[in-house]
Structures are given as structure tokens and as C-alpha cells.
Amino acid sequence: MKKNLLNEMTWKEAKILFKKTDVAIINCGAIHPHGSACPLGTDNIGAYEVSKKISKKCLEQGIDVVILPNIPFGYNYYHGDFEGNISIDKPTLISYYWNVVKWLHKWGIRKIIWNSTHGGNEPCIEDVSSRARREFGMIAVRFAWDSTGMTLTQDGLINTPIKEGDEGLILEMSLVAAVRPEIIDFSDAAFKEYEKPFGDEFQIVDPHHILFGKSTLYTYLTTRDATSTGGYGGPEQRNYSKASAESGKIIINGVVDYIVDFIKAFTELKLKNRINSDLGT
């Protein structure tokens, strides 16, 4: 039986696959609050379920790719006022990712696809990917079921009534309903208008943006500064009647189809092996 999930392979099977491909998918998630209805592990559910579907479709189409198990924790200190949040500090997470990439390079991987559904991981992924490019000549890209799904929707490649992203509101509710309906209760969904700890002149848009005048500035707040429910997003995302398993399935399947097509083309990309490196720091 052909396999592409690294944690389900023997070392002999891995040896054969690494000789066939120089492409690997690294799945990354996080444990943090996602509103009042979605579970703490929503980002892990998204990464894991999408990678399983990619795995199956690549095997069906004869596309060789190495798919790593999910890394369950990420950087999300800003959610730390909510029970159950677990965050890894950035230097540790960067070191973790870097060690994974170094070993993949040792086994012949030259192209990395990061499947990271948690935005807080992005600075760490960028740091490691840039270093891998400089030191190993590797190339890396990143996608996520939600942000990539919204891009495909806005580009007219996926037809769904959900048009923008959120944190724990209708987009992520639709994801969980599509793949794990038994662990979400739509009746628990709640949203409270953003708090105003700094008054009306400096209104919070979300934990990352503050409104001043007619424009916004990036800010560095905690999620609890903005909302007591742990979820945030635009007005459209607060209409829970639009959340559905059907929309979640449409988005996920559209992203999987797109990424599998990308993997097929990515495997054919010829890279120069600029630097031969060992496992030194």
C-alpha cells in the first residue's frame, strides 16, 4: 500500500518516498480560544483534516509528497487571558521549526509547504523559511484552509456565502461543523461588541487593530482587551445563521483541490542545490 503520511511509514518506506520527491508538507496548529462555540483546537482540526484530504487525493493521482504529522502548539500569548490557552514562545517555536526543516533537508527535501491555520505562527515560519532559503537553497510557501479559502472565494474559484475570515465566528464554526460536528454546539455561539478600554477616541477593531479617526493602526493587545467571548471578526462574521457544515465542506474541498494542483506543479519545479549543509546549528 502506498503511503505519504510520515508517521504511518516505516523507515524503509520513508527511504523510498524521499527518493521520489523533494516536497514535504509541514502541518502546524495551535491551542487557543476560538470564540464561544469553537474548540480550543480548531486550528489543529483544520490543519489535520485538510492534510488528510490532501494525502488521499495525492495518492489517488500518483503525486509523491511527504506529509508530516501535525505540530499542535503555536505562538498565541495574546490569547493568554482565556482558560486552556497554551502558547510556545517565538524563539522556541522557531528553533523547533528549524530543526524539522534541517532534518527534512538531510533526507532530500528542497521544497516546503507550510499548512498553518494559525496566524500567530507566521512570523516563526517566515524566519525559518527565509533562513532555509539562504542556507540550504530551499523554497517554502504557506497556505491555510481559511485564508486561502477566502482568497479563492474572492477570486471566484470557490462559491460560498462566506466572504471573509474571522476568529471563532462563522468561518471557523463552518469548518468544525463540516469535519467534527459532534464537538460544536451552534447554540453556544455568542458575540459581544468590542470593549472600549481606551475610550471612544481609540476604538478597538480587533486585538490587532485600533481605530483612530478614519483609519486604523496595528496594535499589540490581548484578545481579552477586545472581547470577552474570545472570538472576533467583521459584522458579517457575527451572523451565526450563515454558519453551516455545507459552507465548510465547500471551502475545504476547494482549498484541497487547489493545493493538490499546486503540489503537482511544485514537484516539477527544478531548483539549484545552492548549498550542501549538514545538521550544524
Per-residue model confidence as pLDDT tens digits over 179-206 = 999 999 888 888 877 778 888 899 888 8
Q: What confidence score (pLDDT) does residue 278 get? A: 54
Chain position carrying cell 459532534: 182
Q: Which residues of 82-113 are buried (b: 16+ CB within 10 A; e: fewer)?
A: beebebbeeeebbebbbebbbebbeebbbbbb
Residue 56 domain-assigned? Answer: yes
- 101, amino acid identity: V
Residue 192 domain-assigned? Answer: no
Residue 150 domain-assigned? Answer: yes
Residue 141 domain-assigned? Answer: yes
Cα(206)–Cα(221) distance, integer angstroms: 9
Range of the domain at 33: 6-161+248-267
pLDDT in tens, the chain (281 residues): 799 999 999 999 999 999 999 999 999 999 999 999 999 999 999 999 999 999 999 999 999 999 999 999 999 999 999 999 999 999 999 999 999 999 999 999 999 999 999 999 999 999 999 999 999 999 999 999 999 999 999 999 999 999 888 999 999 999 999 999 999 988 888 887 777 888 889 988 888 999 999 999 999 999 998 889 999 988 888 888 899 999 999 999 999 999 999 999 999 999 875 555 555 54
Closest residue by Cα to residue 114 from 27, 13, 1: 27
Q: How many domains does the chain have?
A: 1
Residue 200 domain-assigned? Answer: no
Q: Which residues of 175-208 are buried (b: 16+ CB within 10 A; e: fewer)?
A: bbbbbeeeebeeeebebeebeeeeeeeeebebbb
- 274, amino acid identity: R
Residue 174 domain-assigned? Answer: no
Closest residue by Cα to residue 145 from 115, 189, 123, 169: 115
Instruction: Encode pLDDT of 212-260 as tens digits.
Output: 999 999 999 999 988 899 999 888 888 888 999 999 999 999 999 999 9
Cα(24)–Cα(245) distance, integer angstroms: 29
Q: Check: CB of residue 87 under 8 Å from CB of residue 79.
A: yes
Give me the CATH number covering residue 124. Answer: 3.40.50.10310
Q: Check: CB of residue 59 under 8 Å from CB of residue 20.
A: no
Residue 182 domain-assigned? Answer: no
Distances 152 to 61, 132, 256 between C-alpha atoms, Å? 22, 28, 11
Closest residue by Cα to residue 119 from 42, 186, 17: 42
Residue 31 domain-assigned? Answer: yes
Question: Under the phi-then-psi rule, with left for phi > 0, alpha for psi from -120 to 50, and beta for the rest, what region is 203?
Answer: beta
Strands 209-212 and 232-233: unpaired
Question: Under the phi-then-psi rule, with left for phi > 0, alpha for psi from -120 to 50, and beta for the rest, what region is 221?
Answer: beta
